[in-house]
């Protein structure tokens, strides 16, 4: 509805109040989300009885109320643009703190999946991140954060898939007056839908309409409206995550050093001081019911146990509240048993005069070693995400914006934050600086290093109309580029998104770790209790001699120490970290080598690949088809024949069609009789230069060719199948010529006018130089290569013979490629498909592992599990080899984690004590547990040393 040219907005909340604002930018009911409307009238409707959160009020009632207030009102028909569109789901990332093992991950995932409006939730232990797909109309990101925090974990929102939201840091707001001034600026800003300012963090979150304004406009208007008082910066979510990781490691290091500082005196009192007579005499001085040494140990260890070690009690309580158990439960049980036994021993001695030995140092050293292990683990896990950090660092922090007037004359050069670049901006890129966004060159010429995306070390010449990629390095001349893709749409951002998604995903093998984690801690506690009762009962029954007992010890203490060692040496973390850390490192290594992996499940399947199915055109071949010969089989002039064929093919997007048009252009304008500059300019200036004939009724027939009408005559351009189905007879002379072309690995294109064949074109698409070597390398690796193509059988066999492929499937329509994939999958074989075009996307989706050549189409890349960014077939071998190496590392991690627990728990329980006298004090067991998870992460980090395999090594070629 509009009143006097303005918009009327109705809002109804729990107070059953409907309000319509008047005046630009004034908030309604304190709701800033309504401040973007240009209101002309205000109506307050009260005493509405509405049990729901949204009241339906008739338009006529509102019109009458407005007229009663003395204003004119008119009900306007609602346009399609104003209709509310159903809200789609959003994908948000949340930082989750306090998770220690796979049991915590399972607990958080279970909580999130039960929330209304949450469609999917995945939590990664290695990154401490959760990815949640949710309906914003049902639950907000604040609601998700609250749910995680209610479960006892720390949570913070990181970023979401919303394209119309920006997070700004605002300095200069010191009072409520400043805040009202900021709200007034935003309220008057057309296109702002909603905003929220956090005074504690000094962060402003703005939801805006990207069709009306951009992030830079918001920043500029805030600065101008405050006369420079408010300083506004854009918050980069990746920078925020890095600072959070740094903060976490700093906090853990502080806890560790505090515990170590308090534990060292306890250790010295127990071990060193008895050998120093003067100091020992002071410790034996009785102060009240206890010795001075006991008082000191109790005071120091109490600080360690309940101040430094508070996090273990909090985390253990959180886990038990969520009906799960984790590593913190084990640490809290083990240290508490040692601490409270020691306190009980002191009190018992004070009451009875019988003094048993205390084990305060066990509790303190346990916590110290566990904190050391957690600190090292955080540092090691930080290394696993180095790939994303390096990718983020490729984008420059700032850009030089060129501001021009209406006459396209340069007015000003302005340095802006790279996050504020908007589509259409003209940017200046000087030599030695990085390209700030994806775009096209509008002025200048230079060489650009695109190795970070393509892997090609040779610089690429960029001239006017050339495309450039954000993050690449400009080497020589200055360039002016026009930004076409910014933010999450850039190539680099999409690469980062793919790597992030892969690191968040779970490999199927991780289900084993999740199952073990769910039963691990209860099983260890039962084993600990069993250890205690076995040793205690056997001692009481005299099964073992008293000489085994420590000095002044008893059977209870002897059994308790074994029991505590069992609790603290068991480590569920090592199992939980075995898979995700290896997957994280592998996806990062793959990205650095030009292989983007979309998830842990794809990584797991690729290591079992038995067949690799290659598309021919653009995959095994270079995709740059050229016409090598043209033969006319009629009275028609060669030039007229080529004009006719080019006219028919000009409307087709097929690579062969483009090759035919280019050949005809070359014949007409660049032959020996006509090589003038004017002709060259004519070709460059217009796509077809006005020489093509008018075409009617054009239609492309998939897998066969094209059909159209020129001068009232039907023209067919395609393969034998097209002509035979159309009733055209192919003369023997033409058939022999086509066969000759096909046997030389060329494609024969037949041309018919009405019902008569008039000529044949021979088209060649050169093989990629590495194709034959890659095929041989796959065979050496035990993988069977297959070629599938829509081309004819003779050409397909000739190409396959040239590259060394035995299994060929030819004359396959696009839909049939997926059927070929399924035929190999029938016996359970894992099949990979390598393709680049739209027609390959069904096969890429049907394959167990789809590999899209990076230079291919967006649809093919979307359907694939692997993206080979460098358009190099050698990366097929890299992808398979990396997946094999990764899962070898994962298996090694699992073997180590399982073997550690299977061996260490019996040793801690004292199984070998009667035979060999081997015994692990609890603090030694704690040190072993702390280092076990660190060793698993470090094992995964060894994947960072991965080097792509040399083909000379695979093929066993000796280079002299």
Tell me the CATH number at 712.
3.40.1110.10
Query: What total number of domains does the chain contain?
Result: 7
Confidence of residue 238 (pLDDT cuts 50, 70, 90): low
* Residues 523, 432 within the same domain: no
**CA distances from residue 736 to 270, 636, 732, 882, 915 in whole angstroms, order as listed:** 99, 20, 6, 47, 89
Which are the contacts of 202, defined by CB distance < 8 A and separation ≥ 6?
Answer: 169, 170, 171, 173
452 lies in which domain range?
422-485
Using one digit for the tens of pLDDT, what is the confidence trace for 747-778?
A: 889 999 988 999 999 988 888 888 889 999 99
pLDDT digits (tens, 9 = 90+) for 877-918: 999 999 999 999 988 888 888 888 888 888 888 888 888 888
- 58 falls within a domain: no
For residue 28, the model assigns a pLDDT of: 37
Res 76: pLDDT: 62
- Whether 83 is in a domain gets the answer no
CATH of the domain at 123: 3.30.70.100
Same domain, 831 and 855: yes
More confident residue, 631 or 405: 631
753 CB neighbour count, 10 Å cutoff: 20
Q: Is the confidence at residue 839, as pLDDT, over 90?
A: no
**pLDDT for 649-669, tens place per residue?**
988 877 788 889 988 888 876
Same domain, 296 and 384: yes
For residue 715, is pLDDT > 90? Answer: yes
CA distance 496 to 27: 39
Please give the average per-residue pLDDT across 820-835, as a whole number. Answer: 90
| Percentage, residues of the chain above pLDDT 90 | 11
Checking if the pLDDT of 294 tops 70, the result is yes
pLDDT beyond 70 at 960? no
Residue 323 maps to a domain: yes
pLDDT for res 258: 92
Active-site positions?
Answer: 615
The two structure tokens encoding residue 239: 């920078």
Picking from 82-86, 107-111, 210-214, 597-601, which range would have the lowest pLDDT averaged per residue? 82-86
| Same domain, yes or no: 311 and 326 | yes
Instruction: Tell me the C-alpha distance between 248 and 264, whole Å.
Output: 24
Least-confidence region, from 86-90, 185-189, 522-526: 86-90
- Among 28-37, 105-114, 385-394, 530-539, which range has the highest average pLDDT? 530-539
Higher pLDDT, 914 or 26: 914
Question: Percentage of residues in the chain with pLDDT exceeding 70?
Answer: 82
Q: For 125-145, how does the pLDDT look when each residue is reduced to its tens digit (9 = 90+)?
A: 777 888 888 888 888 888 898
Domain termination site, one of 861, 881, 901: 881
Considering only residues 123 and 161, tell me which one the structure prediction assigns the higher pLDDT.
123
Query: What does the pLDDT average to over 148-176?
Result: 79
- Residue by residue, DSSP assigns 415-466 as EEEGGG--TT-EEEE-TTSB--SEEEEEEE-EEEE-HHHH---S-EEE-TT-
What was the pLDDT predicted at 670? 57
158, pLDDT greater than 90: no
State both tokens at 817.
């490629």
Asked whether residue 185 falls in the same domain as residue 281, the answer is no
Please report the pLDDT score of residue 637 as a whole number. 87
253 and 375 fall within a common domain? yes
Distance (Å, whole) CA 367 – CA 564: 13
Q: Average per-residue pLDDT in the chain? A: 78
Q: Are residues 932 and 869 in the same domain?
A: no
What is the Cα–Cα distance from 815 to 837, expressed in whole angstroms? Answer: 13
Tokens of 99: 């998770």
pLDDT of 683 over the 70 cut: no
Is residue 20 a part of any domain in this protein? no
Query: What pLDDT sits at residue 750?
Result: 93
Q: Which of 245-249, 594-598, 614-618 has the lowest mean pLDDT?
A: 245-249
Give pLDDT, residue 915. 83
Q: Is residue 681 part of a domain?
A: no
Give all strands (DSSP E) within 9-153, no chain letters.
Answer: 11-12, 18-24, 38-45, 90-97, 118-124, 129-134
550 lies in the same domain as 571: yes
**CB distance 568 to 560 below 8 Å:** no
**pLDDT tens digits for range 789-808:** 887 788 888 888 888 999 99
Kindly state whether residue 15 falls inside one of the protein's structural domains.
Answer: no
Residue 77: per-residue pLDDT: 52
Does pLDDT of 598 surpass 70? yes
**Domain shared by 842 and 937, yes or no:** no
Rounded Cα–Cα distance for residues 134 and 956 (Å): 52
Evaluated on CA atoms 894, 896, 897, 898, the torsion sign reads: positive
Contact 380, 934 (CB under 8 A): yes
Find out whether 478 and 430 touch, Cβ atoms under 8 Å.
yes
Q: Is the pLDDT of residue 11 over 50?
A: no
Q: Is residue 77 part of a domain?
A: no
Residues 6+ apart with CB under 8 A from 640: none
Report the CATH number at residue 472: 2.70.150.10
Cβ atoms of 77 and 62 within 8 Å: the answer is: no
Return d(Cα 883, Cα 877) in angstroms, integer.
Answer: 10
Same domain, 459 and 507: no
Q: Which range is least confidently modeled, 484-488, 694-698, 888-892? A: 484-488
The answer to whether 803 touches 771, Cβ cutoff 8 Å, is yes
Residue 191's H or E segment, with its range, is none
Q: Per-residue DSSP letters for 679-733?
A: HHHHHHHSSSTT-SPP-EEEEEETTTEEEEEETTEEEEEE-HHHHHHTTPBPPHH
pTM exceeds cut of 0.75: no
Amino acid 672: pLDDT: 38
Nearest to 203, CA basis, from 194, 214, 195: 195
Return the bridge partners of 195, or none.
206
Tens of pLDDT, residues 348-381: 777 777 677 777 877 888 888 888 877 877 777 6
Whether the Cβ atoms of residue 573 and residue 377 lie closer than 8 Å to each other: yes
Q: Based on the fold, state whether residues 497 and 446 are members of the same structural domain.
A: no
**Residue range 572-593: average pLDDT?**
81
718-731: average pLDDT: 89
Domain membership of residue 362 (yes or no) is yes
| pLDDT on residue 410 | 80
Predicted confidence at residue 877, as pLDDT, reads: 92
Q: Phi and psi of 52, rounded to 5°? A: -105, 170
8 Å CB contact between 848 and 864: no
Of how many residues is the chain composed? 960
Residue 84: φ, ψ to 5°: -70, 130
* pLDDT: which is higher, 858 or 607: 607
Rg (CA), the chain: 36
- What confidence category does residue 6 fall into, taking pLDDT thresholds of 50, 70 and 90? very low
Give 857's pLDDT tier (boundaries 50, 70, 90): low
Where would I find the H helices in 275-359? 277-283, 292-303, 310-321, 327-352
Q: Which of 764, 785, 811 marks a domain boundary?
A: 764
Whether 247 and 368 share a structural domain: yes
Q: Which two tokens stand for residue 158?
A: 């990181």
Of 743, 764, 785, the one marking the end of a domain is 764
pLDDT higher than threshold 50 for residue 53: no
pLDDT value at residue 452: 66
Q: Is the pLDDT of residue 928 over 70?
A: yes
Is the per-residue pLDDT at 609 higher than 50? yes
Bigger pLDDT: 439 or 623? Answer: 439
Average pLDDT over residues 848-859: 72
Other Cβ atoms less than 10 A from the Cβ of 394: the count is: 18
pLDDT at 838 (0 to 100): 64
Chain segment 417-438, per-residue pLDDT in tens: 888 888 888 999 988 888 988 8
Least trusted range by pLDDT, from 49-63, 177-191, 611-625, 739-753: 49-63
């Amino acid at each position: 509805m509009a009143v006097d040219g303005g918009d009327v907005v109705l809002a109804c909340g729990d107070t059953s109040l409907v309000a319509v604002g008047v005046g630009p930018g004034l908030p309604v009911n304190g709701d800033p989300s309504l401040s973007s409307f240009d209101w002309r009238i205000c109506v307050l409707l009260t005493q509405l009885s509405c049990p729901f959160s949204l009241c339906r009020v008739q338009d006529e009632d509102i019109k009458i109320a407005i007229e009663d207030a003395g204003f004119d009102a008119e009900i306007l028909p609602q346009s399609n643009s104003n209709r509310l569109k159903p809200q789609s789901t959003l994908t948000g990332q949340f930082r989750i703190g306090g998770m220690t093992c796979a049991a915590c991950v399972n607990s958080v995932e279970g909580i999130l999946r039960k929330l209304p409006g949450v469609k999917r939730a995945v939590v990664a232990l290695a990154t401490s991140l959760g990815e949640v797909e949710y309906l914003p109309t049902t639950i907000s990101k604040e609601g998700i954060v609250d749910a995680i925090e209610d479960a006892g974990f720390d949570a913070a929102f990181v970023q979401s898939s919303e394209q119309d939201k920006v997070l700004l840091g605002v300095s200069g707001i010191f009072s409520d007056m400043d805040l009202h001034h900021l709200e007034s600026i935003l309220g008057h800003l057309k296109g702002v839908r909603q905003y929220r300012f956090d005074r504690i963090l000094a962060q402003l979150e703005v939801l805006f309409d990207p069709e009306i304004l951009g992030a830079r406009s918001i920043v500029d208007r805030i600065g101008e409206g405050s006369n420079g008082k408010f300083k506004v910066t854009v918050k980069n979510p990746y920078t925020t995550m890095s600072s959070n990781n740094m903060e976490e490691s700093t906090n853990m290091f502080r806890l560790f050093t505090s515990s170590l500082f308090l534990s060292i005196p306890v250790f010295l009192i127990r071990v060193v001081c008895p050998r120093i007579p003067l100091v020992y005499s002071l410790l034996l001085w009785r102060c009240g019911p206890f010795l001075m040494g006991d008082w000191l140990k109790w005071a120091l260890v109490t600080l360690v146990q309940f101040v430094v070690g508070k996090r273990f009690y909090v985390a253990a309580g959180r886990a038990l509240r969520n009906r799960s158990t984790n590593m913190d439960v084990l640490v809290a049980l083990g240290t508490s048993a040692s601490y409270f036994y020691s306190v009980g021993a002191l009190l018992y001695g004070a009451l009875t005069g019988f003094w048993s030995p205390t084990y305060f140092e066990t509790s303190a050293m346990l916590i110290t070693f566990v904190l050391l292990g957690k600190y090292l683990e955080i540092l090691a896990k930080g290394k696993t995400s180095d790939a994303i950090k390096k990718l983020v660092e490729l984008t420059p922090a700032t850009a030089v914006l060129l501001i021009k007037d209406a006459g396209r004359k340069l007015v000003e050069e302005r340095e802006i934050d790279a996050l504020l670049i908007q589509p259409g901006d003209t940017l200046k890129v000087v030599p030695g600086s990085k390209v700030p966004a994806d775009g096209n060159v509008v002025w200048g010429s230079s060489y650009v290093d695109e190795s970070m995306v393509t892997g090609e070390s040779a610089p690429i010449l960029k001239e006017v109309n050339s495309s450039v990629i954000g993050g690449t390095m400009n080497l020589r001349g200055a360039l002016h580029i026009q930004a076409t893709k910014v933010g999450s749409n850039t190539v680099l951002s999409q690469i980062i998104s793919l790597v992030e998604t892969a690191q968040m995903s779970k490999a199927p093998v991780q289900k084993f770790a999740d199952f073990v984690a769910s039963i691990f801690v209860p099983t260890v506690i039962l084993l600990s209790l069993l250890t205690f009762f076995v040793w205690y009962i056997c001692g009481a029954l005299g099964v073992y001699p008293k000489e085994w007992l420590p000095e002044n010890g008893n059977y209870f203490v002897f059994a308790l120490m074994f029991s505590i060692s069992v609790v603290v040496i068991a480590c569920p973390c090592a199992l939980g970290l075995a898979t995700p850390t290896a997957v994280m490192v592998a996806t990062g290594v793959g990205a650095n080598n030009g292989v983007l992996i979309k998830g842990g499940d794809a990584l797991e399947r690729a290591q079992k690949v038995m067949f690799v199915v290659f598309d021919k055109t653009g995959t095994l071949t270079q995709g740059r088809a050229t016409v090598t010969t043209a033969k006319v089989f009629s009275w028609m002039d060669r030039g007229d024949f080529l004009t006719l064929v080019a006219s028919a093919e000009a409307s087709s997007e097929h690579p062969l069609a483009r090759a035919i048009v280019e050949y005809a252009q070359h014949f007409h304008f660049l032959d020996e009789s006509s090589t003038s500059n004017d002709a060259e300019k004519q070709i460059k200036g217009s796509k077809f230069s006005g020489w093509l004939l008018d075409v009617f009724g054009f239609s492309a027939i998939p897998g066969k060719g094209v059909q159209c009408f020129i001068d009232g005559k039907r023209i067919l351009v395609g393969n034998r199948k097209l002509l035979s189905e159309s009733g055209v007879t192919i003369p023997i002379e033409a058939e022999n010529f086509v066969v000759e072309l096909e046997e030389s690995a060329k494609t024969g294109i037949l041309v018919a006018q009405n019902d008569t064949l008039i000529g044949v074109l021979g088209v060649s698409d050169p093989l990629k130089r590495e194709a034959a070597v890659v095929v041989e390398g796959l065979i050496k690796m035990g993988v069977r290569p297959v070629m599938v193509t829509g081309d004819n059988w003779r050409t397909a066999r000739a190409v396959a013979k040239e590259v060394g492929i035995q299994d060929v499937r030819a004359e396959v329509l696009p839909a049939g490629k997926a059927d070929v994939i399924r035929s190999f999958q029938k016996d359970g074989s894992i099949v990979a498909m390598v393709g680049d075009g739209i027609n390959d996307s069904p096969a890429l989706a049907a394959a167990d592992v789809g590999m899209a050549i990076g230079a291919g189409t967006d649809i093919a890349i979307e359907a694939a599990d692997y993206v080979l960014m460098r358009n190099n077939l050698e990366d097929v071998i890299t992808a398979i080899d990396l997946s094999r190496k990764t899962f070898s590392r994962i298996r090694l991690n699992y073997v180590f984690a399982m073997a550690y627990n299977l061996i260490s728990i019996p040793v801690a329980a004292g199984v070998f004590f009667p035979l060999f006298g081997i015994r692990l004090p609890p603090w030694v067991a704690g040190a072993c547990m702390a280092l076990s998870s660190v060793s698993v992460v470090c094992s995964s980090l060894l994947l960072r040393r991965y080097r792509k395999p040399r083909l000379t090594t695979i093929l066993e070629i000796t280079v002299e």
